Amino acid sequence: QVQLVESGGGLVQAGGSLRLSCAASGRTFSSYVMGWFRQVPGKEREFVAAISWNGASTYYADSVKGRFTISRDNAKNTVYLQMNSLKPEDTAVYYCAALAGSFFIARIRTDAYNYWGQGTQVTVSS
């Protein structure tokens, strides 16, 4: 069992930056692929970024590539999402998730992730 708690959301102006954190409980954090997703009301949850168990591989949605960076610190059981050059269309609830499976096969699949956090709101004003 893994429990995930996100933090770091808030209100920021367009062009600004935020850093989201996701703290995980449990000894097996380092064995999970970690992902960030986001959701706006009335729309499906969408993939943002994923990182392999050891941090060697990352993958991003085209909409955030070059602006967002995912990283992890297995010693601290924490995964991060650094968000730069934020746009109003980045406004959403952001969720972190843990996947006990293949990074290369399932990294973008919402239905493949085993554990989810409660989400943190990010609002970007124009």
- The Cα–Cα gap between 6 and 81 comes to 10
CB 113, CB 100: distance < 8 Å: no
Q: Spell out a b/e string for 42-66, using b for 16 or more CB atoms within 10 Å of the CB, else e.
A: eeebebbbbbbbeeeebbbbeebee
- Per-residue pLDDT at 106: 85
pLDDT of residue 66: 98
Three-state SS at 43: coil
Q: Which position has the token pair 């972190």?
A: 96
Residue 42 identity (one-letter amino acid): G
Each of the 126 residues of the chain gets a pLDDT tens digit; together they read 899 999 999 999 999 999 999 999 977 888 999 999 999 999 999 999 999 999 999 999 999 999 999 999 999 999 999 999 999 999 999 999 999 988 888 899 999 999 999 999 999 999
The whole-number pLDDT of residue 8 equals 98
